Amino acid sequence: MTPNLFDLNLFGVYILGIANPAAGTNFTYSVPDNHRTKIALITYTFVTDANVAQRYHTLTHVRAAAPLRISSDQVGVSASKTQNVMIMPGAAQLNIADSPYPLFPIIDSPCFLENDTINSDIINIQVGDQISDVRMFLHLQIYPQ
């Protein structure tokens, strides 16, 4: 991915739209070669299907195949709900069961290096659950070769 694919650069924060993953799967972003980044904010819409299961939002940072959970939901969301999720560093968790607008903190705000991945990792995701409209607000730095 090259910088010209970014929607907007606002005060050093790039807004990147991520393709919607298939139903029942999580989204993934890989930091491009010669880049490093920090997360300012991640937003997405999450719609749960009718299957009875409590789902929990988590965000995982993977470097060299070693996953590290950097955000975790302690409340969860049940069947047939729509949430507009926000995840950001320094936030206090604001979530009531099945809240339509939950806010989750990033526990640690590491620097993501080239080829690191940032993944949603929804615990108990169901086959009909859908993540859409993923937006990542990133502090992106590019390093020439």
Separation CA 68–CA 126 (nearest Å): 23
Instruction: Report if pTM > 0.85.
Output: yes
Count Cβ atoms within 10 A of the Cβ of residue 8 and give its class: 0-12 exposed, 13-18 middle, 19 or more buried. Answer: exposed
Architecture (CATH level 2) of domain 10-142: Sandwich (2.60)
Tens place of pLDDT per residue across the chain (145 aa): 444 444 456 567 889 999 999 999 999 999 998 888 999 999 999 999 999 999 999 999 999 888 999 998 888 899 999 999 999 998 878 877 788 989 889 987 678 999 999 999 999 999 999 999 999 999 877 776 5
Structure tokens that stand for 17 in this block: 């739209």
Instruction: For the chain, give every domain's residue range.
Output: 10-142
Separation CA 144–CA 129 (nearest Å): 40
Distances (CA, A) of 76 to 29, 45, 57, 58, 95: 23, 14, 7, 10, 8
Torsion angle of the four alpha carbons 55, 133, 5, 145, in this order, in degrees rounded to the nearest 10:
-10
* Cβ-based neighbours of 11, under 8 Å, separated by 6 or more: none
* Cβ-based neighbours of 34, under 8 Å, separated by 6 or more: 114, 142, 143, 144, 145
- Say whether 74 sits in a helix, a strand or coil: coil
